[in-house]
Structure 1
Amino acid sequence: MKKLIVFVLILVSGTSFAQNEAKRINLYNLENKLGIQGYDPLGYFNLGKAVKGKKEISVSYQGVVYNFSSVENKNTFLKNPAKYEPQYGGWCAYAMGDSGEKVEINPETFKITDGKLYLFYNAYFNNTLKSWNKDESNLKTKADNNWKKIYNNQKP
């Protein structure tokens, strides 16, 4: 009986994990499952700049592939992936706060606030990081709520 219960628990948790993975792949800003356009998530934190990762040093975390510029960065990420993933699935933080829309980003336009990585659209003379900085607290609250609605309303 114990074995049956353990088997059912494993089956249920595996199904839940697969659904969560599918949800993330559908919702996140990815190209062929690649997050942050191949940039190293730890570069933002450790170096304070956007650094391209290497395909050979990558990891898949809940369906999202991240590239790293070093094995050390990859190993650090694996210890606490949620800490280093960009907010709002890697979509533009400003757009998420302003209108609740999923807008592409420029991975070289970013900000770390309270230990979290925020990415922004920056093209055609429109750097949304500047707009974000003018009303960060309000936009962050709205972005958090908008992303929660988007994430919770998406079927896996």
Structure 2
Amino acid sequence: MLTMRKSLNLSFALMLGAACFTLSPSTALAYDAQSTAAVNVDKQGVGLQGHDPVAYFSAKAATAGKPAYRADYEGVTYHFASQANRDKFKANPAQFAPQFGGFCAMGVALGKKLDGDPQAWKVVDGKLYLNVNKDIQKKWLEDVPGNLQKARSEWPQIQAKAPQDL
């Protein structure tokens, strides 16, 4: 039984890896595969590919932010759709910042740091989670509690490693 479970996990991991390259949007992989940072940012240090983290909670939608409304938190610059959203974020950034540094939650559950797609998101228990794409998100949504348990277990071991080394 354990061998079969390991085989299924390996098969899924291989499928996930293939999906990252074939199914992800062209804007994916905006992160630096050599960075050992625990946060997923683009070359300018912007997280969520410029999307407003507060809007996921208030508008319940992925909403592009504006560079004019910005705030920094734990080494990431976030953009916001409005000054009000920026002010909400500044009052409690931990409430709105994406989990696992903005990396794909399913990838983290499998011991990988994959880019998070701002369009493949879910708020669970008041926390924002991203996935590498919507196809992988469907798999993640099949067992959110189990996948979060795995991800929380894996994150301490991988957060300081470069994605290319995982």
| TM, length-normalised to structure 1 | 0.76
Does the 8 Å contact 1:25/1:63 carry over to 2?
no
Please, which of 125, 142, 149 is the counterpart of residue 141 of structure 1? 149
Greater Rg over alpha carbons, structure: 1
Structure 1 position 152, deviation (Å): 6.6
Does the 8 Å contact 1:39/1:51 carry over to 2?
yes
Identity %: 36
Bigger proportion of residues as strand: 1
Paired amino acid for 1:105 = G
Determine if the alignment matches structure 1 residue 78 to structure 2 residue 86.
no
Paired amino acid for 1:64 = V
Bigger proportion of residues as helix: 1
State the SS of the aligned residue for 2:148.
helix
Change (3 A) 1:37 1:152: closer
Does the 8 Å contact 2:40/2:103 carry over to 1?
yes
Q: CA RMSD in A?
A: 1.9
- Stretches of structure 2 lacking an aligned partner (at least 5 in a row): 1-34
Structure 1 position 149, deviation (Å): 2.2
Instruction: Please list the CA deviations of residues 56-110 of structure 1 after superposition, one character each: whole Å capped at 9, or x if unmatched.
Output: 110111321000000000000011101100011101011111x110011221110
Distance 1:110 1:62 in 2: 21
Distance 2:76 2:36 in 1: 7
Distance 1:109 1:28 in 2: 17
Instruction: Please list the CA deviations of residues 24-60 of structure 1 after superposition, one character each: whole Å capped at 9, or x if unmatched.
Output: 9822110121110000001100011100000011011
Distance 1:90 1:111 in 2: 12
Aligned residues: 127
Paired amino acid for 1:70 = S
Tell me which stretches of 4 or more aligned residues in structure 1 moved more than 6 Å: none
State the SS of the aligned residue for 2:90.
helix
Which residue does 2:53 correspond to in 1? 41
State the SS of the aligned residue for 2:54.
helix
Structure 1 position 151, deviation (Å): 3.3
Structure 1 position 147, deviation (Å): 1.1
| Equivalent residues in 2 for 1:1-150, closer than 5 Å | 26-31=37-42, 32-97=44-109, 99-122=110-133, 127-150=135-158
Change (3 A) 1:86 1:106: same
Does the 8 Å contact 2:39/2:75 carry over to 1?
no
- Stretches of structure 1 lacking an aligned partner (at least 5 in a row): 1-23
